[in-house]
Chains A and B, each alone.
Chain A
């Protein structure tokens, strides 16, 4: 985790960090307050291979020296790690249970990944991990129906590539609120936030 940074092919971060992180945060605020709402962010970014624009924008906006970040094994030790350490100074961890943020692509999801992350403490549920799941898109997958705080009636999304076991495992965690995992589905240029309060039904294709 302390390998020297590879600066030779380092991609840039935000063009103007103060303004850009504010506008990305406001999109995240809308997304998290209204689960299922697609927000656009990170369009101008050219992140390193392995990280998509929205996941990169979220990390630039929220990660810093106070947040332990867990990267899926295929992203460790390469361009993503160098880019992240250079731009955010965040410490990295291989222990999922201590991560503040986790980054995983849909193809790397395995059964039981969610419960491995920090679900918070009974007295401090805010310590739970925020998991960024990089997906191909939010329109062409199986239809999901969302209900809960922030949603007036129901919301629908259709993320492509997230396996069903991910949602069934998440449903088990939802039953244990105030514990839980907050998920952000990061497609290229659009994001949907699914906090632990959201109840999801799988409607299929």
Chain B
């Protein structure tokens, strides 16, 4: 090992130094970095990039991992969530991956993180200036379900021709009496580009509007990067007589009692018992630590994540 390599990863265990810093080679990082800057310059536009093979399959967050690898530095604090939870398999393994190859501190605390990689949620705690959200995106093209040809959808974006999307929403209303999309609800960025917010629940869509954080989206299999700069207008499509609405629940979180967070329904047994809990595990744990309690506070499920955290440590 040369002196330069040791300098490059001063905190890494010797065996980890066989990986280049943040896994990707430097030319790949430059290519991704150029794409990110162009994505910020043209908010909502999908920049093609040369997506690489990653050590997880497509669909497991290869786009988000490549984005993170291109931006991360040793002074970053990294958080990774999967459907809002820090303790699911995918989130835990991606978090460990960056702790190993990028020598970063990891956290579950939304406020403490400088980079938050996410599969399909925006944390409940409002994001701050200087934070970067990295979204894993399965299908970057909001129009793909309506028009399978890339040549056509690219032309539709080029000319701002989004009538087809509105027709689709209208057909929703005529079939169901409402706009039935619940996740991946299409948004207009700075009144120019139609964008898929990745399959976040539409509950999270309003959080993107004039958000102080940088929002980066990466689709590994589809080889696209796009971005929403801070303080950018993000409008969920709707009609005057059918305004955009987010999901709401009659229940509160069974563990922490929150009535303002996105809830997951958990089936408890075969007798029809079920509970609603916060999808955002850090938000829920934080509220419980502050003394909030829901109707099923103290349930065995509440202890799972503390056990996992103890095992990891």
Q: In the complex, A104→B90 CA distance in Å? A: 47
Please tell me which one of the listed residues A29, A63, A100, A150 contacts residue B231 in the complex, with CB atoms under 8 A apart.
Answer: A150
Query: Is residue A169 within 8 Å, beta carbon to beta carbon, of the partner chain?
Result: no
Q: In the complex, A22→B73 CA distance in Å? A: 7
Please tell me which one of the listed residues B37, B130, B132 contacts residue A32 in the complex, with CB atoms under 8 A apart.
Answer: B37
Q: A25-B33, A195-B40 in contact; A126/B229 too (CB < 8 A)?
A: no
Min Cβ gap B174→A in Å is 32
Cβ–Cβ contact B7 & A16, under 8 A: yes
Cβ–Cβ contact A123 & B155, under 8 A: yes
> In the complex, which range does the number of interface residues on chain A fall in?
35 or more
Query: Is residue B232 within 8 Å, beta carbon to beta carbon, of the partner chain?
Result: yes
Min Cβ gap B235→A in Å is 13
Question: Which residue of chain B has its CB nearest to the CB of A24?
Answer: B33
Q: In the complex, A50→B270 CA distance in Å? A: 75
19 A-B pairs with CB atoms under 8 Å apart are A16-B7, A22-B72, A22-B73, A23-B73, A29-B37, A29-B132, A32-B37, A61-B30, A62-B30, A66-B31, A123-B155, A123-B158, A126-B47, A149-B232, A152-B212, A152-B230, A178-B192, A182-B41, A195-B40
The 6 closest A-B pairs by CB, nearest first: A195-B41, A150-B229, A126-B38, A149-B232, A122-B158, A123-B158
Give every chain A residue within 8 A of B8 (Cβ-Cβ): 16, 18-19
Query: Is residue B36 within 8 Å, beta carbon to beta carbon, of the partner chain?
Result: yes
The B-contacting residues of A in range 32-59, CB under 8 angstroms, are 32-34
Query: Is residue B21 within 8 Å, beta carbon to beta carbon, of the partner chain?
Result: yes
Query: Is residue A94 within 8 Å, beta carbon to beta carbon, of the partner chain?
Result: no
Cβ–Cβ contact B40 & A150, under 8 A: yes
